[in-house]
Structure 1
Amino acid sequence: MDGGTLCSIGELARHTGLSVKTIRFYSDRGIVAPAGRTPAGYRRYAPDAVARLALVRTLRELGFGLDVIRRVVDQELTLGEVAAEHAAALDVEISVLRLRRAVLRSAADREPTPKEMELMHQLATLSAAERRRMTDDFLDAVFEGLHSGSHAAARRSMTPELPDNPTDEQVRAWVELAELSLDPDFRASVRRLAEDHAGSLPEGVPRRPRPDTVAVARDVVAPAVACGIRADSAQADPVVAALTARCALAHGRPDDAELHTWLLHRLEAASDPRRDEYCRLLALINDWPAPERLAPLVAWSVTALRVRTAR
């Protein structure tokens, strides 16, 4: 186009690749106004209309609305201002879409009922404050009224912190962990574990900080499980003897039948495999290293103690 020559709407369409109808629409909206008209009333456009329409097409492809585009081409707003605002809006939209995708993928794997699907959607779209309240409700149910310095640390170690920009895997893990924390039976199971750790000691045992019995069992039993030693075999006898001796020493009392019964009760309370699942999901959400599975070690210890307690 000649720098000083006005062009018709048809010529402008050929130069921009836009249809006459589209250019007329933008013109009617005041986005690309004609520079003049012929005596017959036909629109004529200045050479800068080509650049304006190129910008309009780019902004439309990026998803901007016509009102915003008009203000940009009229220099009422800068491109930087509208780009920042639009990027922020897209961030929100992308976050919502990722949450929806995570729910749908989880549903595809699990074949949920309509009620379960609704719950999954609700859990995935909770705000950060709502997630915190749900977590606090679960941890209150587990630890409320148990006065032990170790419980504050345990509570922190069980708290999920979904990041601002979670991955699909983290969102799915959050939904599953939230469902688990809402399960009354699981809550009761974890509560029993906390109560046992806080106060279910054999009579005469001093109330002092003591090692976690599950951790002691893990340390003693893990090598035997790794070697394939059966819990009900004679080869397991020295392992069980070492386990009860360690616990007796830790709790300051004789290694006798009463301690064995208490230890069996304590490990049975910790044998819920959902505890491992909670820890696995928690690690995914908080981006922690994958935790060791304790359920097989606890199950081995429980079987070994039952066999020997029954003798």
Structure 2
Amino acid sequence: MELLSIGELARRTGLTVKTVRFYADRGIVPPADRSPAGYRRYHPDAVARLELVRTLRELGLDLDTIRRVADRESTLAEVAAAHTEALDVRIRTLRLRRAVLSAAARYGSTPKEVQQMRELAELSARERRALIDDFLAQVFGDLDGFDGIARSLTPELPDDPEPAQIEAWIELAGLARDPAFRDGLRLLAERHAADRDPTVLRRDPVALVRDEAGPALAAGLDPASAQAGPVVAAVLARYPVRDRLVAQLEAARDPRRERYLELLSVVNGWPAPESLAPVLGWFLAALRSR
């Protein structure tokens, strides 16, 4: 059987002589013999061994692991499974970092804000849940009949989220921690709770305005026109407390509330919600023109 010189081995594998010698010096591709002059000679099987080594190196495996695989101390399947898990962890970490940097670039954040974003991105599932539970408890905690609404406002970040979901979570969590946003939602919830009093039962004003004013907005009707009068009258007939109605609609069209719902849909993988700001704005303009 003809043995190969280090130069011939390099030519057959496409590696440099220096690289082949490097692997040989570390015992990964040991020589089969030496020539009378002391030059290393390799078994033809070394070609396949070197090709395996090159492939595993390109996949990021360390030399000790490659040696174990080449020497059959560890099976390739075992090594591949272990490194797949390690890569999954690395990928998740890189996704988190990318999301934080992307958010920082988008919002022109300060170093302190970037640090806060990173902390939010790296929260465990339990810590995320605790943050949201605290947020929802402050908004709805002691009010009856809001369990379904609270569940509908709960983000559930997947175990392997997409970068867009991580970015959305970072912004959503920032809103959930914002005292002003919490207070605004709490006030809105308290007003809804009062409307549920059997002695003053009224329909949800937001849904009422959406249903009554939506067609007028879609038709391009001017809110200051006479044709808008019947729409206003229809709403006031169902919800006659004008000042309370205005307060509810203004609170409902808070841009932060709409943004929370948009972010929630991204985190949970839901369809994007319909914006109610245009129809609420149209009705408020129609109401104030009278």
TM-score of the alignment, normalized to the shorter chain, above 0.5: yes
Instruction: Give runs of aligned pairs for residues 230-269 of structure 1, distance below 5 A.
Output: 230-247=222-239, 255=240, 259-269=241-251
Q: CA offsets, 1:230-267, max 9 Å, x none?
A: 444432221111112233xxxxxxx4xxx333323332
CA distance in structure 1 between the partners assigned to 2:35 and 2:196 by the alignment: 99
In 2, Cα distance between the equivalents of 1:69 and 1:134? Answer: 44
Partner of 2:159: 164
Pick the aligned partner of 1:223 from 215, 220, 223.
Answer: 215
Tell me how far 1:203 sits from its aligned partner.
9.5
1:267/1:301 contact within 8 Å kept: no
Residue from 45, 70, 75 that aligns with 1:73: 70
Q: Give CA deviations for 1:246-297 in whole Å, capped at 9, x if unaligned.
A: 33xxxxxxx4xxx333323332332312111111111122121111111222
Q: Map residues 84-233 of structure 1 onto 2, 5 A cutoff.
A: 84-146=81-143, 148-149=144-145, 151-199=146-194, 204-205=199-200, 211-233=203-225
Work out whether residues 201 and 262 of structure 1, in 8 Å CA contact, stay in contact via their aligned partners in 2: no
- Aligned amino acid, residue 279 of structure 2: L
Deviation at 1:211, TM superposition (A): 4.1
Asked if 1:50 corresponds to 2:47, the answer is yes
2: CA distance, partners of 1:101 / 1:9:
44
Counterpart-to-counterpart distance in 2, 1:167 and 1:20 = 44
Instruction: Compare 223-232 and 290-299 and name the one that shifted more.
Output: 223-232
Q: What RMSD, in angstroms, separates the aligned Cα atoms of the two structures?
A: 2.2
Matches of 1:204 and 1:261, distance apart in 2 = 18
Contact 1:138–1:182 (8 Å) recurs in 2:
yes
Flag the 1:186–1:234 CA change in 2: closer, same or farther, 3 A. same
Counterpart of 1:292 in structure 2 is: 274
Q: Report deviation, 1:70.
A: 0.6
The code of the aligned residue for 2:186 comes to R
3-state SS in 2 of match to 1:44: strand
Q: Can you list the C-alpha shifts for 1:100-128, whole angstroms capped at 9, x where unaligned? A: 22332333222222222222222223222
Q: Partners of 2:110 and 2:51 in 1: how far apart?
A: 50
Do the aligned partners of 2:203 and 2:238 also contact (CA within 8 Å) in 1? no
CA distance in 1, matches of 2:76, 2:199: 76
- In structure 2, the residue matched to 1:250 is none
Gaps of 5+ in 1: 248-254
TM-score by length of 2: 0.90
The residue identity in structure 2 corresponding to 1:235 is Q
Work out the percentage of aligned pairs sharing the same amino acid.
60
Verify the 8 A CA contact 2:99 2:163 in the aligned structure 1.
yes
Structure 2, unmatched stretches of 5+, are none
Distance in 2 (alpha carbons) for counterparts of 1:265 and 1:109: 33
- Report the TM-score, using the length of structure 1 for normalisation: 0.85
Taking the aligned partners of 1:138 and 1:123, their CA distance within structure 2 comes to: 14
**Residue identity opposite 2:79 in structure 1:** V
What is the Cα deviation at residue 38 of structure 1? 3.6
Is 1:17 the counterpart of 2:14? The answer is: yes
